[in-house]
Chain A
Amino acid sequence: MKLLQHFREGTGGRLRRILLEAPWSSYDLLSALIVSGIGLYLWLNAEMFQHIGGVYQQMADVATERQWGILFMGCGGFALIITLWCVAPQFLWRLSARMATAFCLLVLAGNNLLNFPPPLSTVTYLLLALWSVWGILRTHESGR
């Protein structure tokens, strides 16, 4: 009982503050850079899906590396502009920017999860994707 109270006042409280009150711009910036970077990488490596043994087969079935690259660069670039805009953009712009990055990260996480066993990067993509969805749910009319 005392241990639970200690946790609630200590690490638990800190975690709650991070999840509910901490500014999200740093995560927005990071996720936008990651998505843009992956987009650029895919755009430059037009045969990447073939070289990495079948891990990205689900994505390859839908579109080519270049097409995915353009989509990821578009989503990441859009999110980057919204995050770095000098004044807070309107709610719907901020929401759609977060939705765009979450979509890209969820595609990567879903693609990895369809492999058995899933590659190591699944953990990273899954956590980033879940945090992005949480970011969508935490977008407010007031504040960034």
Chain B
Amino acid sequence: MTDAAQLNTLASVADERPTRNASSWYTLLKPYIGSPFNAVVTFACLWLIYRLVTGAWGWLVTRAIVEGGPQTCKAAAGAGACWPFLAAKLRFLIFGFYPYDEHWRPALAVLLFLGAMIYSMIPRFWSRRLLWLWLAVVVTCGVLMYGGLFGLTVVNTTNWGGLPLSFMLSSVGLAFGFVLGVLLALARSSKLPAIQVIAVVFIEMVRGVPLVSILFMASVMLPLFMPDGVTIDKLLRAQVAIIIFAGAYIAETVRGGLQAVPKGQHEAAASLGLGYWLSMRKIVLPQALKIVIPPLVNIFIGFFQDTTLVTIIGLLDFLDTVRSAMRDPAWQGIAVLEGYIFAALVYAVFSYGMGSYSRFIERRLKTDHGHGRH
């Protein structure tokens, strides 16, 4: 660039300084039409929003079929959404092949589960009691779902499905995965070489392959590993795969937290005479886990979504009940998108909720830290 050109550029930069006498209209509109390029962007965005909103409104509302059956929807030939499909299939979508008259049981289990989750998300209630609460909730949910006690009829796991199954797979998977992950993280950051190597090999092998392959392994190979006469339930096999997969990912996150705890904390614990396990449990882990709560919540969101993969090995999770509802001969080829959109909304609500919670926790932990310093 020549000197003259450079001077010109500098001059133009100087000219762009905002003038103070601008009216409120000018300041209001500047972000939208401040420069020619920006004006083009604004109009392109407006056009896009207009198209999206009118298209969605037309399909979801004005052109949608609200009453009738498969034939009404077929006559409309996909011009609008077919809501009777959702209305007719709603309970099947949510509960799958669980006996129709017993739907109150999974419904109660889901409510109990969500209640316990919301309760334990509130920082004020964080204490050791939560562990017992969850134990009670899990046992109650299990009894509700499986039955066999208190005069409840037994419902085999092959009939479980839908949203309760998705919640169960992800929550049990994450709970056990968390324990496994913490143990693996401790092993990986241990000073004993043999234990470290075992942990590294396990973690890297699991993280290096897709979840699908671990699910396959669990569903095909696990029966071969068992001694004769022992058969494991298909659901349990998928659950084991999810626990192993979650454990490896959680281990890496927790390890990050362990590394962030200053060395002085280990030394202080040792000088108080605490052994390895005591110092980990009382001093190091509480600090390490606090640091990694936000990334852990993000991992939880990812695993909640990843439980959909059990569809591939033939379990009826929420996504799969949606798909089998669409395969119903009466509705086949008529409502092809409505089910997916419904499922997407359900997943989005839960994921977005947990994501907002993660951001809230991050902010909260940050301020706590700030107060500690002053």
Our verdict on whether A and B bind, yes or no, reads no
